[in-house]
Each structure stands twice: as structure tokens, then as C-alpha cells.
């Protein structure tokens, strides 16, 4: 039975960089397990302007497309399968696949990232996919020339609002505060975009519609006053939840130490509390949630995995 030197779970910037560094650094039999096409959540971003070495705006898809080929050049194998659990027995990690088969590895680097969080207002689940979306790049085109609402006040919300403003006749940004948690340059662009209206100190109360989809959004300000905004599309960007399910053991415990938010506790080398297991990107504590940071995490974890496996086998 072949034992992988390193199993990489997740094919985003962290996982791909880990794949590049482990294979180029000399590890044999390195497989990246990713249930879909590699690239990660950033593939849905409409524009990126802060990745080092890239001048001007670039879409997430254009940025990430060359990465898999670069990794595979040095021998990284991509297995398109969903991983349901990781366990460790007799010094080996066991990678449990959705189809019931398993793979064994000396070390594991996890980069399963996070998923968009639901905002929790009435009608959100009912109309999700029928007017409520968490991806402006994916669904913005459906609202060309129409008015839409964006819920959130962070970098992602404002960047996607700017993208939508190029397509839609008007964009309402609904934010519970009167200040934004975003880069000053992005905030300035928002304020200077004529077809963006700021709806501040306000939270979504309900999205409603008919059998065809969303027809409006009801919001409530801090004084309890309600306002109806007639829009066929509502985009929510209110944070992310960590994808840590593969670390949950059969008895409900976690494979390694976690914090109360479900993030993996790591040290500066991305090492977890379990020897040979490393966590990277959005799923680790204090993650900056930036592509360049995730890539850095993947490189650091890979270098540590190389040292760990070398000591283990030699």
C-alpha cells in the first residue's frame, strides 16, 4: 500500500502553494484532494488589485488559473474527491473519502477554507438561489440594468458592490454601522460611485417575493423604522464560517486543538497540536483572509512538512 509523504486537503491558494513547495522541495507521492476545480473561493472575486506583482485589476479566475499547472509540473497529483474525515492511527494519517475508500499519509496540510455565512434575516433561505446570492461575480449578470442590494460593510461587500455598480442601474449598500471595515481607497471609490446609495445604521429585516423570485427587501434602521427597497436581487457578504468538518471525529471531538470559533489553533509554523498536521488559510486562528497570506501559509506549512517527513523516515 502506497503511503503519501503528504496529503493536502483543499485546492485554494494555500493548498496549491503547499503542493508546489512540497513537491519542488523533494517530497514524493504528494496528492492534493479537492472535490472541485482548484482555485478556491477567490475564483468568484470579480477584481483583485492587491496581489503582489500584479499591476492593475485582475479577476480571481484569471489570477488562479495558472497555479494548478505550475504545481503539477513538479509532480503534484490532484484527486477530485470529497474528504469527509481525517483520523490518525499508529502514526499514520488516514484520509477518509466520500466514496468509502481511504488513503494513508505521513503528514497532512489542511486548507479547506471557509464558506459564506448566512445573514439570518427572514426569507433568506427561502429565496437563496432565487434572488438571494453570495456571489456577485456568479450572479451579477442576471441583474444587468436593474437595481440590487448588497448587505455588509467589509472588504468583500464593498468590492462586490463596485463590481455590481458596473452592471446594475443602482446598488444599495445596507450596513448596520455608519463606518466600514475596508481599505480607505475602496471606501473612497464607493463614495464616488454615483449609482451606489448607502443605507447605513440599518439591518435587513426580510426579503420577500413570489414564485418567480425576489421582489423586494425590507430593512430596519436603529430607530426601528422600516423601509422597503424594490430590488430583484440581494447579495449578502457578512463573513464566513470555517470549513472544519473533516477534523470532527466519530465521538464528536476534534482531531486537534480548536478555538471557540471553530478555527484551528496553530503556531507560527502552521503546526497544530497534533504532530504532522498543519492548518492554513482561512481555517486557522488569526487568518488575515487574503490570497497572499493563504499562499504564505501554504509555503510555511509545506517547508515544515518536508522537515517532519524527513526526520520521520530517515
Residue with cell 471609490: 189
**What string of pLDDT tens digits covers the 314 residues of the chain?**
799 999 999 999 999 999 999 999 999 999 999 999 899 988 888 778 889 999 988 889 999 999 999 999 999 999 999 999 999 999 999 999 999 999 999 999 999 999 999 999 999 999 999 999 998 888 899 999 999 999 999 999 999 999 999 999 999 999 999 999 899 999 999 999 999 999 999 999 999 999 999 999 999 999 999 999 999 999 999 988 999 999 999 999 999 999 999 999 999 999 999 999 999 999 999 998 889 999 999 999 999 999 999 999 98
14 and 74 assigned to the same domain = yes
Range of the domain at 217: 132-236
142 and 224 assigned to the same domain = yes
14 and 79 assigned to the same domain = yes
Question: What are the residues facing 33 on neighbouring strands?
Answer: 9, 79
Under DSSP, is residue 226 helix (H, G, I), strand (E, B) or coil?
strand
Question: Has residue 93 been placed in a domain?
Answer: yes
Q: Does the CA dihedral 127-128-129-134 come out positive or negative?
A: positive
35 and 110 assigned to the same domain = yes
Residue with cell 433561505: 125
What pLDDT, on the 0 to 100 scale, is given for residue 242? 95
**Where does a domain end: 236, 261, 280?**
236
The active-site residue out of 28, 62, 125, 138 is 138
Cβ contacts of residue 288 below 8 Å, gap of 6+?
none
111 and 245 assigned to the same domain = yes
Cβ contacts of residue 65 below 8 Å, gap of 6+?
39
**Where does a domain end: 205, 221, 236?**
236
* Active-site annotation holds for 139: yes
What pLDDT, on the 0 to 100 scale, is given for residue 311? 97
Residue 55, class by beta-carbon neighbours within 10 Å (0-12 exposed, 13-18 middle, 19+ buried)? exposed
Number of structural domains (the chain) is: 2
What pLDDT, on the 0 to 100 scale, is given for residue 234? 98
Give, rounded to a whole angstrom, the gap between the first and last alpha carbons of the chain. 20
CATH number at residue 189: 3.50.50.60
What pLDDT, on the 0 to 100 scale, is given for residue 192? 97
The three three-digit cell numbers of residue 171, written as one number: 446598488
Q: How many Å apart are CA 87 and CA 254, to the nearest integer?
A: 10
Q: How many Å apart are CA 298 and CA 283, to the nearest integer?
A: 12
The active-site residue out of 139, 155, 282, 297 is 139
The three three-digit cell numbers of residue 161, written as one number: 458592490
298 and 149 assigned to the same domain = no
8 and 107 assigned to the same domain = yes
25 and 94 assigned to the same domain = yes
The three three-digit cell numbers of residue 246, written as one number: 473533516
What pLDDT, on the 0 to 100 scale, is given for residue 1? 74
Cβ contacts of residue 232 below 8 Å, gap of 6+?
131, 143, 146, 147, 148, 213, 214, 215
222 and 179 assigned to the same domain = yes
Q: How many Å apart are CA 297 and CA 269, to the nearest integer?
A: 8
112 and 245 assigned to the same domain = yes
* Active-site annotation holds for 138: yes
Output the CA–CA distances (angstroms, integers) from residue 110 to 24, 28, 135, 195, 270, in the order listed: 18, 18, 24, 41, 10
Question: Has residue 124 been placed in a domain?
Answer: no
**Where does a domain end: 236, 259, 292?**
236
What pLDDT, on the 0 to 100 scale, is given for residue 44? 81
What pLDDT, on the 0 to 100 scale, is given for residue 47? 77
What pLDDT, on the 0 to 100 scale, is given for residue 57? 81
54 and 93 assigned to the same domain = yes
pTM of the model: 0.87
What pLDDT, on the 0 to 100 scale, is given for residue 34? 97
What pLDDT, on the 0 to 100 scale, is given for residue 243? 97
Q: What is the CA radius of gyration of the chain?
A: 21
Amino acid at each position: 500500500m502506497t503511503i503519501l509523504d503528504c496529503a493536502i486537503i483543499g485546492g485554494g491558494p494555500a493548498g496549491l502553494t503547499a503542493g508546489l513547495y512540497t513537491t519542488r522541495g523533494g517530497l514524493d507521492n504528494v496528492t492534493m484532494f479537492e472535490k472541485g476545480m482548484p482555485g478556491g473561493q477567490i475564483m468568484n472575486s470579480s477584481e483583485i488589485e492587491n496581489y503582489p506583482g500584479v499591476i492593475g485589476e485582475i479577476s480571481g479566475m484569471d489570477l488562479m488559473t495558472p497555479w494548478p499547472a505550475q504545481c503539477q509540473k513538479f509532480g503534484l497529483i490532484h484527486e477530485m474527491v470529497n474528504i469527509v474525515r481525517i483520523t490518525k492511527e499508529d502514526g499514520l494519517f488516514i484520509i477518509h473519502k466520500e466514496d468509502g475508500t481511504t488513503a494513508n499519509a505521513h503528514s497532512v496540510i489542511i486548507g479547506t477554507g471557509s464558506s459564506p455565512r448566512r445573514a439570518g434575516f427572514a426569507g433568506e433561505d427561502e429565496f437563496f438561489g432565487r434572488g438571494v446570492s453570495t456571489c456577485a461575480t456568479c450572479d451579477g449578470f442576471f441583474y444587468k440594468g436593474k437595481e440590487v442590494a448588497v448587505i455588509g460593510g467589509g472588504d468583500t461587500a464593498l468590492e462586490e458592490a463596485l463590481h455590481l455598480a458596473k452592471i446594475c442601474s443602482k446598488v444599495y449598500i445596507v450596513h448596520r454601522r455608519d463606518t466600514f471595515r475596508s481599505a480607505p481607497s475602496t471606501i473612497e471609490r464607493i463614495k464616488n460611485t454615483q449609482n451606489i446609495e448607502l443605507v447605513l445604521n440599518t439591518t435587513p429585516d426580510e426579503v420577500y417575493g413570489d414564485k418567480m423570485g425576489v421582489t423586494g427587501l425590507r430593512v430596519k434602521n436603529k430607530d426601528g423604522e422600516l423601509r422597503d427597497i424594490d430590488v430583484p436581487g440581494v447579495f449578502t457578504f457578512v463573513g464566513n464560517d470555517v470549513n472544519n468538518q473533516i477534523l470532527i471525529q466519530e465521538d464528536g471531538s476534534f482531531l486537534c486543538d480548536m478555538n471557540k470559533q471553530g478555527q484551528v489553533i496553530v503556531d507560527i509554523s502552521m503546526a497544530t497540536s497534533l504532530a504532522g498536521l498543519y492548518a492554513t488559510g482561512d481555517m486557522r486562528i488569526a487568518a488575515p483572509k487574503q490570497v497572499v497570506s493563504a499562499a504564505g501559509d501554504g509555503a510555511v506549512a509545506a517547508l515544515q512538512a518536508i522537515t517532519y517527513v524527513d526526520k520521520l523516515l530517515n
